[in-house]
Structures are given as structure tokens and as C-alpha cells.
Amino acid sequence: MPKAVTPGEDPWATTGLEILHSTDFAGGRLNRSGTYVVCFSAAWCPVTRRFMPQYVALRGELPATLAIADITSLDEPLWEDFRIRITPSIIVFREGETVQRIDGRRFFGITKAMLAKLPGALSAQ
């Protein structure tokens, strides 16, 4: 069972991944060079918390940097900037531009089958 998040606690600190916030984006672009796989995640979402170990396990397995966009706050502008409706959702950025997207499904988040398509899609680009 995923643990609850204490207010003020960084829910993603133990992942070892780069944590992104709205200041890391501009106009729908990621302010980073290279290829990034970004999981838009809300700490209060039990589906996201169950998914996170699968996502973290991809580190070093993909030709990209893995990161988490923290959208725990419902006031976070990234919800609207990227039209996030379900967490987790993954967006792949190359040189700051969106090149692929995997939207989570209600009650299921991102399934293993959905996630399995990511390595092939990254190598095809």
C-alpha cells in the first residue's frame, strides 16, 4: 500500500530522478536539451504511486533522461499547459518539443503494455 504524503514532504525525493516544476517549462516546451521522458505525477494519486517503481526502473534502459513533473498541487499550471487529465501521464520531449505522449487511463494509469511501447518509440525517432 502506498504511503500517504505528509504536507511539505517531497514525495519524489526517493526516486533519484530530476523533479520538474512549471518554471522548467515555457509555452508548452521543456527548457532542457536532449531527450526527456517526463512523467506528470501527483503524489496524492494512488495509481501514480503504484506506477512510480515501474517508471523509475526504466532509468538507464531508455536513450533518454527520466524526470518527474510534480503536479501534486491542483493549482499547478502544468495541468492546463499540457492538458493533463489523468495521472500518471508521460510526455517525451526532444530538444524541448513534445514528440510523444502516453496519457494515463482512469483507474489504470499507465499499463505495462502502454509502457512497453516506449523503448521502441524512442529508438524510432
CA 48/CA 2 separation, integer angstroms? 10
pLDDT band at residue 118 under the 50/70/90 scheme: confident
21, three cell numbers: 516544476
Q: What is the pLDDT of residue 94?
A: 93
- What is the set of domains in the chain, with CATH numbers? 16-120 (3.40.30.10)
Q: Determine contact, residues 82/28, Cβ cutoff 8 Å.
A: yes
User: What would the pLDDT profile of 53-84 be if each residue is shown by its tens digit?
Assistant: 999 999 988 899 999 999 999 999 999 999 99
